[in-house]
Amino acid sequence: MMLYKLKKELDNLADKKQATNLQRFFKTGKGEYGEGDVFLGVKVPVLRSVAKRYKYLSLNDLQQLLDSKIHEHRMISLFILISQYAKADDEKKKQIYDFYLKNTKNINNWDLVDLSAPNIVGDYLLGKDRSVLYKLAKSKLLWDRRIAILATFAFIRNKESKDSLAIAELLLKDEHDLMHKATGWMLRELGKRVSREKEEEFLKKHCKTMPRTMLRYSIEKFDEKKREEYMRR
C-alpha cells in the first residue's frame, strides 16, 4: 500500500519538460551510457523530501523501486536506503550493504552511484577488508567501477588515502570518460582532505600517461602555474 502511494505521489509530481531535459543531460539515447533510462522530471530536493515520508519501506519494496526503469524510483529507493543505513545497528547495516551490492546493475547512472556509494559501501568498509572494491574496479560494468572509486570517498573523509590511490591506479587505463572524471575527482579530494603531497606523488608518477580529463579534474584546485606545469608534462 505504501509503495503504491509513493509511486502515485511521484507520478503527480512529474514534469514532462523537466523529464525531457534530464533524459538529454543523463545521456539516455541509443548507445549512450544511460540508454533506456526514463525520467519523470522530479527534482532531487523534492525527492529527498518525499523520501522522508517513506523511510520505513521494506527491502522488498525498495527492491521493486530499484528494479524500475524510472530513474526517480531508483533514486528515491537509495535515499531511503541511506536513511535506514544511517540509523541501523551493525546487523542491519550488513544487510543493507549486501542488498546494495546485489543491486549494482540497478544503480546505473552516475548520480545514483555518487549519492550512495560513499554513504553505504564506503562507510560499511571503514575498518574492514576492502578487497570487494578491487573486484568492482575490474568489473566490465561501468557502474561497478564507479562504485569502487566513489566508495573510497568515505575513506578520504576519514583521512585515509591508500585504497583511493590503489584503485585510482587500477583505473588509469579505463576507457570511459565518466571514470576519468570520477577518478580525478577523488584524487582532488584526497589532495584537499588528506595529503596534497600524496596526490602529487601519484600525479608525478602517472600524469604523462593518465587520461587528460582525469588529470584536469585532479589538479582543479592547484594554482594556475602548477596546473599548466602538469598539463605540459
Residues of the chain with CATH 1.25.10.90: 1-105, 117-233
What top-level class would CATH report for the domain 117-233? mainly alpha
pLDDT at 17: 97
Rounded alpha-carbon distances, angstroms, from residue 68 to 53, 79, 106, 198, 218: 20, 15, 8, 42, 35
Q: Which residues, 6+ apart, have CB-to-CB distance to 146 below 8 Å?
A: 110, 113, 114, 117, 178, 179, 182
pLDDT of 233 above 90: no
Class for the domain spanning 1-105: mainly alpha
CA 172/CA 186 separation, integer angstroms: 13
pLDDT at position 18 is 97
pLDDT tens-digit map of 72-118? 999 999 999 999 999 999 999 999 999 999 999 999 999 999 999 99
Per-residue pLDDT reduced to its tens digit, 18-35: 999 999 999 999 999 999
pTM: predicted TM-score of the whole model, two decimal places: 0.97
pLDDT tens-digit profile of 158-170?
A: 999 999 999 999 9
